[in-house]
Structure 1
Amino acid sequence: MANGEIGAIMRYPVKGLRGVELDAATINAGTMIRDDRRYVLASSTSLGQGGLDGWARKSNFLQLVNTPKLAELGIDYNDETTTLAISRNGRTICKGNLEDAMGRTVIEDFLSAFLKNDIAGSPKIMSVPGTQFGDMEQPYISLLNRDSIRDFADRIASQPVDPMRFRGNLLVDGLPAWSELEWREDQKITIGDVSFRMIHPITRCKATSINPDTAQSDINVPLLLRKGMNHLFMGVYLEATSSGTIKPGDRVVAQ
């Protein structure tokens, strides 16, 4: 079976906002990448009176599928200081420590003005200690095969498709297009010195139709996947079964 290599590692500190590329990622067995989806954006009306006390479905939060304007924002994030900087058109607009009430307020005030015509209620940055808000409740790490995306773009969409639409953690080069969908459930996947377990392919929703640069819905990705491939999959979920550090250039081996 052909092997590939890690081309990029991404994490998304605030669910719904852009990702940040990492030079390396420390992987711990049974967990997501550190600070990936650590924070969420909710409107004051979306969670009701109960607030947030654990993992919740993405429909409870602001995200591209319901708030596409978020795609206009760039971010930088420092995990040592839990500081988020938000930029627009390449210029930093605001910055705050997400573990500090004043820092969160600075970010929330900007988002409230930025999204004032797009959401009901005011946006709040939330987190729950020890919880990460992946689309699945289980602590999975997502892998994208960039050759699958290129094939989809060239042969099915007939236009460029930015891998960032799919918000993957591990972007892999060198695997034959769609070969990741042939991995068996529970198959061992090794990346560098770290072992993973294949979980299942990722079913894609309308959020992938949002262009990450223009914030416009310009390609009906699920419809094209269904018509062109007879499925709705792009990428796979893995679960880390050992610990270690991975970095771009590490080999991806399906065993």
Structure 2
Amino acid sequence: MITVTELYRHPVKAHGREALCAVTLHAGKTMPMDRVWAVAHEMSKFNDAAPEWAHCVNFSRGAKAPELMAISVKTDEATNTLTFSHPDLPDLSINPDIPAQAARLVEWTKPIMPADRAASDRIVRAPDRGMTDTDFPSISINSRASLRAVSEKAGRDVSQLRWRGNIWIDGLEPWAEFDWIGREVQIGTTRLAIRERITRCPATSANPQTGERDLDTLTILSDGWGHKDFGVYGEVIETGDVKLGDKLELL
């Protein structure tokens, strides 16, 4: 039986993960409070006057700033307050929709941003959807079995936090999720269409506890299986609830 083992959201793109016990997924939408905000850098072409989804190259992210990968976050939805934590920084609590407070997040990350990259500039958001890496409103699904295969190839335990997934599952063969492209799955009371594999970037090379690049995940994937993919993207086609322990059924 395939079951849900973990759920995560990332309120500000590339700036912290938050574990969940349950979530309601809505048809045609990204996960609630997932990538609602993103940090545009000084070279970004994001249009603040007409905000809409934009490609990840417009934002500060773990692929270019690995120490961002060590951020965790807690959300108080009642007050729209996010509290960020990092091993090398004091905790920070802000409401990202208040410009003065949003600017504090940019300032807070300065000590962990590389000097040779475009500097973070401002927090932005797109109406009605999260700033996922896909131009459609995606939910990422990752397999614990595939992660164990990567860990075996690496010769060490590889943290699930490197992959910044939304839904983690277990109970299938490694890489079996790639065979689901073009099919639908039922998870809890929601249904998703599996759209495509997730091609990975250097963000996964950073240790999610320290932010240091300490594992060449892309070479491990390429040498081991001839690709740089891990996980699949699904699109919610039927609103419903997902919680830890729920069963996934391939339709």
- Which TM-score applies when normalising by structure 1? 0.90
Q: Is 1:6 equivalent to 2:8 in the alignment?
A: no
Q: Is 1:195 equivalent to 2:174 in the alignment?
A: no
Structure 1 unaligned segments of length 5 or more: list them: none
Please state how far the C-alpha of 1:119 moved relative to its aligned partner: 4.5
Letter in 1 for 2:43: S
User: Residues 226, 49 of structure 1: CA spacing in aligned structure 2 closer, same or farther, 3 A cutoff?
Assistant: closer
Q: Is 1:233 equivalent to 2:229 in the alignment?
A: yes
What does 1:92-111 correspond to in 2, within 5 Å?
93-111=91-109
SS, match of residue 126 in structure 2:
coil
Please state how far the C-alpha of 1:120 moved relative to its aligned partner: 4.1
Structure 2 unaligned segments of length 5 or more: list them: none
Please state how far the C-alpha of 1:93 moved relative to its aligned partner: 2.3
Alpha-carbon distance in 2 for matches of 1:114, 1:201? 31
Instruction: Extract structure 1 runs of 4+ deviating beyond 6 A.
Output: none
Q: Is 1:15 equivalent to 2:9 in the alignment?
A: no
Letter in 1 for 2:27: A
Please state how far the C-alpha of 1:92 moved relative to its aligned partner: 5.1
Alpha-carbon distance in 1 for matches of 2:62, 2:176? 28
Alpha-carbon distance in 1 for matches of 2:114, 2:218? 29
Letter in 2 for 1:141: I
Asked whether the equivalents of residues 112 and 123 of structure 1 are also in contact (C-alpha less than 8 Å), the reply is no
Letter in 2 for 1:167: R
Q: Which residue of 1 aligns with 2:154?
A: 157
Report sequence identity in percent.
28
User: Residues 23, 118 of structure 1: CA spacing in aligned structure 2 closer, same or farther, 3 A cutoff?
Assistant: farther
Deviation string, structure 1 residues 196-215 (Cα, Å, up to 9, x no partner):
11112111122211121121
Q: Is 1:173 equivalent to 2:170 in the alignment?
A: yes
Asked whether the equivalents of residues 74 and 90 of structure 1 are also in contact (C-alpha less than 8 Å), the reply is no
Letter in 1 for 2:214: D
Alpha-carbon distance in 1 for matches of 2:100, 2:46? 23
Q: Aligned residues, how many?
A: 250
Asked whether the equivalents of residues 70 and 207 of structure 2 are also in contact (C-alpha less than 8 Å), the reply is no
For residue 143 of structure 2, the aligned residue among 139, 145, 153 is: 145
SS, match of residue 138 in structure 1:
coil
Deviation string, structure 1 residues 33-92 (Cα, Å, up to 9, x no partner):
11110100122x222595472111111111111111212333212233221112233985
Q: Is 1:42 equivalent to 2:34 in the alignment?
A: no
Asked whether the equivalents of residues 194 and 235 of structure 2 are also in contact (C-alpha less than 8 Å), the reply is yes
- Which TM-score applies when normalising by structure 2? 0.91
Q: Which residue of 1 aligns with 2:22?
A: 24
Higher mean displacement: 192-201 or 242-251: 192-201
Alpha-carbon distance in 2 for matches of 1:49, 1:38? 15
SS, match of residue 6 in structure 1:
strand
Deviation string, structure 1 residues 170-223 (Cα, Å, up to 9, x no partner):
0112222211112241x1201012111111211112221112112122222122
Letter in 2 for 1:158: G
Higher mean displacement: 5-14 or 104-113: 104-113
Letter in 2 for 1:219: L
User: Residues 199, 9 of structure 1: CA spacing in aligned structure 2 closer, same or farther, 3 A cutoff?
Assistant: same
Deviation string, structure 1 residues 96-130 (Cα, Å, up to 9, x no partner):
11112232133233234554846544532111222
Q: Which residue of 1 aligns with 2:73?
A: 75
User: Residues 147, 101 of structure 1: CA spacing in aligned structure 2 closer, same or farther, 3 A cutoff?
Assistant: same
Alpha-carbon distance in 1 for matches of 2:5, 2:102? 33
SS, match of residue 238 in structure 2:
coil
